[in-house]
Amino acid sequence: MQEPEKTNLYLVPTPIGNLEDITLRAIRVLKEVDVILAEDTRTSGKLLQHLGIEKRMHSHHLHNEHKATTHLVERMKAGEVMALISDAGTPGISDPGFYLVRECLKHDLKIECLPGATAFVPALVKSGFSTDRFTFEGFLPIKKGRQTRLQSLATEERTMIFYESPHRLLKTLTQFKEYFGGERMASVSREITKMFEETINGTLDELIQIFTTKAIKGEFVLVVAGEKAGKATNAE
């Protein structure tokens, strides 16, 4: 009987808040690999300590991803098995991972991506907006290309999902109003799976008013209804 092909790189999702949100398979893989590539070794070190895992870690983040990838690929070709994790959630989703995966595929290295935690899925489901068709936009460009991206989404009929940081939340909601209209329905989720998890639904006008007076803390997922389904009168 032929032995299964050896996996060279595992993409392992980590909890986005609640440390119980990690699979048994993910724990096993992290224990078995030769080395763990972590976005921030200090953050990941706390998780591994909580799980009772002692394993070599190497830093792998946006600033060293291109430089380090060639060396990592050569090590995997030589037989090392690696796991890539991000600070929270699934590697490659608004986090480092894409470039390493692409280079591994170019060299015929086997990759496995484990299912697990990611912030946008619970935010989408909790929004109450259509889940049949949606587009994940991640973080909008901070400066160059931001207006062009918003203009292109103004007539988008699918539900739209964005990530945003606390210090840009109000600016982004205000720009959404400018391009989508103040009556467009949206949902703001923060601190998903954590102690102060919260989701607020309303029109963009209402959400802007709420967050103008409300303390803005945590990491946010914004879900915006599509163009045809997004009017408040249609969402009742």
SS (H, E, C) 117-173: CCCHHHHHHHHCCCCCCEEEEEECCCCCCHHHHHHHHCCCCCEEEEEECHHHHHHHH
CA distance 181 to 154: 9
pLDDT band, very low/low/confident/very high, at 236 (cuts 50, 70, 90): very low
Per-chain mean pLDDT for the chain: 93
CA distance 187 to 199: 7
Q: Are 96 and 60 contacting, i.e. CB atoms less than 8 angstroms apart?
A: yes
Of 168, 152, 209, the closest CA to residue 186 belongs to: 209
pLDDT band, very low/low/confident/very high, at 231 (cuts 50, 70, 90): low
Residues above pLDDT 70, as percent of the chain = 95
pLDDT tens profile 18-61: 999 999 999 999 999 999 999 999 999 999 999 999 999 999 98
pLDDT tens profile 106-155: 999 999 999 999 999 999 999 999 999 999 999 999 988 999 999 999 99
Answer with the residue of higher pLDDT: 62 or 215: 215
